[in-house]
Amino acid sequence: MSRTPGQVWRRTRGLLLAALLLVAAGITFAAVGSGGEHGRLDPRSPDPYGSRAVAELLKDRGVTVDVVTTLDEATDAAGPDTTLLVAGPNMLTDYQRHVLRGAVGDASGRTVLVAPGRTSVGTLAPHVSVELPGPVDPHPPRCDLPAARSAGTVETGGLRYRTDARDAVSCYPVDGYPTYLVLREHASGDTVLLGSPDLLYNDRLDQQGNASLALQTLGSRPHLVWYLPSLTDPSATAGPGGQENQEGSGDGDGGTTAGESGFVDLIPSGWLWGTLQLAFAAVLAAIWRGRRLGPLVTERLPVAIRASESTEGRARLYRKANARDRAAATLRSATRNRLAPLVGVSPRDAQSPGTLLPAVSARLDASDTDAGALLFGPAPADDAALVLLTDQLDALEREVRTS
């Protein structure tokens, strides 16, 4: 039997609505995701964990800010008039760290390492060891560094460092270990270690003396090169071991820097949006295929089924589930509904023992028949008791009819 256009529409309208919502959601997500957002510590990002605010302030002071994502670009830009900020030193391989160390050592400029871990400081900042991380809170400088004394209290913390270098300047200590360390390794160059990137974030720059310390740290030279290491950098697979030498997430407070990315951070954004859309589509499909809301409606069946077949099928289901209580309740309810008009009881009182039982008892001749136990008694204990109850209900109904 062919379906009418109305039937086809009713069967497919839910699917079409789900597809329309999926397309609308995809367009919305694509529009939201195409807004020029970047990752943590990105000087182009206006997000709370971006660093666009400090980059714009540096530009207003005459400092040029260049963003690089490869090792070759970073080493080529290093020089005595340049500050090289490495946003993710823990993301670099051993080969990349050694090349970067050699380049900045020859350049005699300033190098700023954001939360370098144990393996990173071993190459990029010799004579420095990493202590356990601590919370990020406001701390006074407690050192003679002019930039720190001018900035005053700053929100620092994160990784803490220990050094035996004679020319090192230790500032903002937490439990005796500095979280801002300056190593003067060359006549005109130095290396700055930040235990936490928080003072560079957009939403934390206006807190305490964060802006002052950030500007003095990154603006001491006329040029700032902001190095954001990338997994697509060809140098990441160069040298012995390639990417297998990358430092894992076990270096201290690895979750606080841009370089120490977790598994989700390494997944391309397109896959994340695609997964979200599929999950949204799955929810819509579940709602569409779930239980309908509202009252039941009659539906034209393709074939006619005899009442005896329906009764037999339901009886088999009851037997398979050992639902003797449901079967007995169905039999008793049907008997009460048939007895009510025979004894002058209205249909709405057919299930009321106080109304039905006196009327039925008045029509019975035998005094040994317990109508209450038959019509409102407990569920039978076994199949034999259920069969006996059926026979007794039939006998009760016949007696009422013939009385």
Q: What is the mean pLDDT of the chain?
A: 83
What pLDDT is stored for residue 270 in this prediction? 65
Which of helix, strand or coil describes residue 225? strand
Provide the 8-state DSSP code for 70: S
Q: Which residue in this structure is represented by tokens 């929100």?
A: 155
State the pLDDT confidence band at 191, using cuts at 50, 70 and 90. very high
State the helix-helix crossing angle for 210-218 and 52-60, rounded to 10 degrees. Answer: 60
Q: Which residues pair with 112 in a beta bridge?
A: 85, 192
Which of the two residues, 353 and 270, has the higher pLDDT score? Answer: 353
What pLDDT is stored for residue 36 in this prediction? 47
**pLDDT tens sequence across 207-259:** 999 999 999 999 999 999 999 998 888 888 776 544 444 443 334 444 433 33
Amino acid at site 83: T
Amino acid at site 94: D
Which of helix, strand or coil describes residue 161? strand
What pLDDT is stored for residue 243 in this prediction? 42
Question: Strand 64-68 relative to strand 223-227: parallel, antiparallel, unpaired?
Answer: parallel
C-alpha span between 298 and 348 (Å, rounded): 24
Q: Check pLDDT > 50 for residue 314.
A: yes
Task: Give the torsion through C-alpha atoms of 262, 264, 265, 270, to 10 deg.
Answer: 170
Rounded mean pLDDT, 84-89 = 93
State the pLDDT confidence band at 172, using cuts at 50, 70 and 90. very high
What pLDDT is stored for residue 255 in this prediction? 40
What pLDDT is stored for residue 100 in this prediction? 92
What pLDDT is stored for residue 205 in this prediction? 93
Residue 317's contacts (CB-CB under 8 Å, 6 or more residues apart) are 323
Rounded mean pLDDT, 107-120 = 90
What pLDDT is stored for residue 213 in this prediction? 96
Structure tokens at 225: 């090169």
C-alpha span between 55 and 66 (Å, rounded): 10
Q: Which residues pair with 180 in a beta bridge?
A: 171, 194
Of 182-191, 278-287, 376-385, give the lowest mean pLDDT range. Answer: 182-191
Count CA atoms within 13 Å of residue 341 on its CB side.
4
Count CA atoms within 13 Å of residue 284 on its CB side.
18
Task: Give the torsion through C-alpha atoms of 168, 171, 176, 179, to 10 deg.
Answer: -100
State the pLDDT confidence band at 292, using cuts at 50, 70 and 90. low
Q: Check pLDDT > 60 for residue 376.
A: yes
Rounded mean pLDDT, 108-122 = 91
pTM over 0.75: no
**pLDDT tens sequence across 6-51:** 777 877 787 788 888 877 877 776 655 544 446 789 999 999 999 9
Structure tokens at 374: 């038959």
